[in-house]
């Protein structure tokens, strides 16, 4: 992870834990050629070979599946027309255990698969139970394919555990698909070719792998929807069902209390009027102040030495007191790191070798050598149970250089390990000792921020989570047992979130929620989105592109962290950059929450004061193309008719691309407790806030 994207308040991210549902394993009756279940316009038929035929009104779909098995060359058992690859003895058994359910069972040399299909309203639910019937760990690649009669007109695949959905629009019907179990969300990958959806679990690292006798359930649901259903209609339906429409507080700015010569913020604490002016300049009247440096240690060299808790306590307490005296509405929160442990050579016998950063003991700058690994293990360091290890068994490291280089172990929280205990201790210190209003937690969900990003290790190759492995795609054999750090860390994340929320405090995390249990909690999650904004690639006033990675927040608190000009290269932001980022975010259902401007350009401060502060607080009710309906306000960049429930007459604020207010063109009518606002604006070139 390059320093340019980790300094100050720039972050990275990864998440999940499996949901286990028991499926009765009674002695099956004699198989029939096929079985069907029916409800409303939907009929699902399981053919004798396991293939599913779906009739939905006048539309027909076929679902086939392939499951890998190991050998000299990888083989595939199928729920489909047999092509000679199935193992001897692989015979799908189709039955209807209840009038409203289908069951398909088959067994290979290493696993048994029990598929259960039910129809409820417009939903087709599929639960696949995998059981390892061998005497050794077994891994399996899973390929599911859904084929329509005609090519899909549109497909949207946000991807990743944060939004594990697929939207497919045909000529007469829409299909929505969602993976709901936590491990399946991490393993899922999808693509669309013509009339076929390819849904893969474990295509790469990690792959589903089970211990002998153990089972796991993958859950996925197909929604059969009317042709008029938009992508955001599908998202809003899930958001309502999952109850994840929580308030988004005001945006944030960082405030550093570290005693360094270049820090010009500390003197503001001695002058309440100047601090009031600083708050007003950035429009932080109802916002969040993220207090630096980090609690517990200094990963990004924000001061010249590591702080003791006593030093932090003194300075942070004072900052909290002064901010609350100037503006009681502001939340002052501390910063906690998730996955970096600073290597302090003097704490390791013989550890002086760690200062030789260019020595050959370091392999490719990413992991320790064999000799240094033995040195670390010999001393039984307390955090060994939290360190991420490479396939060769060496601790994974990263180097961050700020004047002088520093080394860090990559680490992860899991139930009872050192990192979990450290984070809980730091939360207790921040909330109960310092008196902070909450905490910000970096790299929280432990999923890679960018798909395929190899600089962020999402797995450890020491130990085993009993559900994932590195499987050879050529042979189907397990190469390494793995720990998916996001998967095993889900219980820790819940414990950490509750440690904050149960005290009535505020929590902000880097990384959108990746499990259903996290999505149900009123924590605020965001994601870094510098890499996805390219405002100069399309003309002003044109509809921004749909960006799958921005869509990832549509099932969480849908907020993103931008702007850095030129897709991540440091430079000077302009108000136009910021406005186009807001507009691009609205196109993708995610409002801008924080922006990174490395040079604090005056026009950006104007944008924050005029525009950004008026966007929050915001409790989303529904996401749409180009606008968001909130309880308190509506944010839009397209003309239209809008409704807002309010006791008082709403105000309409309109802004040009330079962030300046302009006169809005609107009509407003009152109907009971609801106001109807008809607004005309320059689509995709202006921004309106109705509140």
**pLDDT number for residue 650:** 95
Closest to 574 in 3D by CA, of 597, 542, 591: 597
**pLDDT number for residue 353:** 61
- pLDDT tens per residue across span 549-601: 889 999 999 998 876 654 344 557 788 888 999 999 999 999 988 776 656 67
Closest to 491 in 3D by CA, of 515, 511, 460: 515
**pLDDT number for residue 18:** 31
**pLDDT number for residue 528:** 86
Where would I find the beta strands (DSSP E) of 443-513?
Answer: 459-460, 468-471, 478-481, 483-484, 506-510
Q: Find the Cα–Cα–Cα–Cα dihedral 241, 244, 245, 249, rounded to 10°.
A: 180
Q: Which CATH number fits domain 34-240: 2.70.98.40, 3.40.50.150, 2.60.40.10, 3.40.50.720?
A: 2.70.98.40
**pLDDT number for residue 403:** 54
Task: Give the domain ranges of the chain.
Answer: 34-240, 340-410, 621-690
Closest to 91 in 3D by CA, of 49, 40, 36: 49
- Segments of the chain with pLDDT less than 50: 1-31, 299-304, 357-360, 566-569
- pLDDT tens per residue across span 364-410: 558 888 878 887 887 778 899 999 999 999 999 887 765 556 778 99
The verdict on pTM exceeding 0.85 is: yes
Pairwise CA distance, residues 300 & 22, whole Å: 47
- pLDDT tens per residue across span 587-638: 999 998 877 665 667 788 888 889 988 999 999 999 999 999 999 999 999 9
**pLDDT number for residue 9:** 28
**Is the CB of residue 627 less than 8 Å from the CB of residue 230?**
no
C-alpha distances out from residue 613 to 286, 593, 658, Å? 8, 10, 16
- For every residue of 165-232, DSSP letters joined together read EEEEE-SSEEEEEEE-SHHHHHHEEEEEETTEEEEEESSSSSEEEE-TT-EEEEEEEEEEEETT--HH
Pairwise CA distance, residues 208 & 74, whole Å: 15
Average pLDDT, the chain: 87
The three-state secondary structure class of 429 is helix
């Amino acid at each position: 992870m390059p320093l340019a994207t980790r300094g100050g308040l720039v972050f990275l991210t990864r998440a999940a834990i499996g949901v286990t549902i028991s499926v009765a394993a009674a002695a099956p009756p004699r198989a029939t050629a096929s079985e069907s279940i029916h409800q409303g316009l939907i009929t699902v038929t399981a053919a004798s070979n396991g293939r599913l035929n779906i009739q939905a009104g006048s539309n027909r779909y076929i679902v086939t599946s392939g499951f890998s098995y190991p050998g000299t060359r990888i083989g595939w058992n199928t729920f489909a027309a047999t092509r000679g690859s199935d193992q001897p003895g692989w015979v799908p058994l189709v039955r209807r255990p209840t009038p409203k359910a289908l069951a398909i069972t088959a067994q290979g040399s290493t696993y048994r698969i029990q598929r259960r299909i039910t129809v409820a309203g417009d939903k087709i639910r599929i639960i696949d139970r995998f059981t390892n019937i061998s005497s050794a760990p077994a891994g399996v690649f899973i390929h599911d394919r859904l084929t329509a009669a005609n090519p899909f007109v549109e497909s949207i695949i946000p991807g990743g555990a944060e939004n594990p959905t697929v939207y497919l629009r045909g000529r007469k019907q829409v299909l929505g698909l969602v993976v709901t179990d936590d491990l399946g969300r991490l393993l899922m990958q999808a693509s669309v070719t013509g009339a076929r959806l390819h849904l893969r679990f474990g295509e790469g690292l990690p792959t589903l792998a089970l211990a002998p006798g153990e089972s796991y359930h993958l859950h996925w649901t197909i929604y059969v929807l009317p042709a008029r259903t938009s992508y955001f209609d599908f998202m809003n339906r899930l958001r309502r069902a999952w109850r994840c429409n929580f308030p988004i507080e005001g945006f944030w700015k960082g405030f550093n209390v570290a005693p360094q010569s270049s820090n010009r913020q500390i003197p503001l604490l001695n002058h309440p009027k100047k601090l009031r002016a600083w708050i007003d300049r950035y429009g932080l009247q109802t916002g969040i102040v993220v207090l630096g440096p980090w609690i517990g240690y200094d990963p990004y060299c924000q001061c010249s030495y590591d702080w003791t808790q006593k030093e932090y306590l003194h300075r942070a307490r004072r900052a909290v007191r002064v901010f609350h005296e100037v503006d009681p509405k502001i939340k002052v929160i501390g910063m906690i790191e998730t996955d970096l442990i600073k290597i302090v050579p003097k704490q390791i016998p013989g550890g002086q070798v760690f200062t030789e950063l260019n020595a050959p003991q370091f392999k490719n700058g990413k992991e320790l050598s064999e000799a240094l690994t033995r040195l670390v293990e010999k001393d039984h360091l307390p955090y060994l149970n939290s360190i991420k290890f490479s396939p060769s068994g060496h601790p994974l490291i990263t180097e961050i250089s700020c004047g002088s280089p520093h080394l860090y172990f990559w680490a992860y929280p899991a139930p009872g390990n050192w990192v979990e205990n450290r984070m809980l201790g730091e939360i207790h210190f921040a909330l109960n000792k310092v008196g902070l209003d909450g905490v910000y937690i970096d790299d929280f969900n432990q999923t890679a921020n960018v798909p395929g990003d190899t600089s962020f290790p999402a797995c450890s190759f020491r130990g085993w989570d009993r559900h994932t492995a590195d499987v050879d795609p050529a042979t189907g054999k397990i190469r390494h047992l793995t720990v998916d750090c996001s998967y095993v860390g889900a219980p820790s994340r819940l414990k950490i979130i509750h440690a904050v929320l149960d005290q009535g405090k505020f929590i902000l995390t880097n990384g959108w929620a990746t499990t259903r249990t996290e999505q149900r909690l009123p924590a605020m999650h965001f994601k870094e989105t510098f890499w996805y904004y390219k405002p100069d690639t399309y003309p002003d006033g044109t509809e921004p592109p749909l960006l799958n990675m921005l869509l990832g927040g549509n099932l969480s608190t849908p907020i993103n962290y931008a702007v850095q000009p030129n897709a991540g290269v440091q430079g000077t932001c302009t108000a136009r950059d910021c406005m186009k980022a807001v507009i691009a975010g609205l196109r993708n259902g995610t409002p801008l929450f924080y922006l990174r401007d490395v040079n604090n350009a005056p026009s950006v401060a104007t944008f924050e004061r005029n525009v950004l502060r008026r966007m929050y607080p915001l409790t989303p009710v529904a996401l749409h193309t180009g606008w968001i309906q909130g309880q308190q306000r509506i944010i839009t960049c397209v003309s239209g008719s809008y409704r807002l429930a309010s006791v008082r007459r709403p105000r309409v604020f309109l802004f040009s691309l330079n962030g300046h207010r302009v006169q809005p063109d609107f009509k407003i009518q009152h109907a009971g407790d609801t106001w109807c606002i008809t607004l005309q604006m320059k689509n995709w070139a202006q921004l309106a806030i109705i509140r």
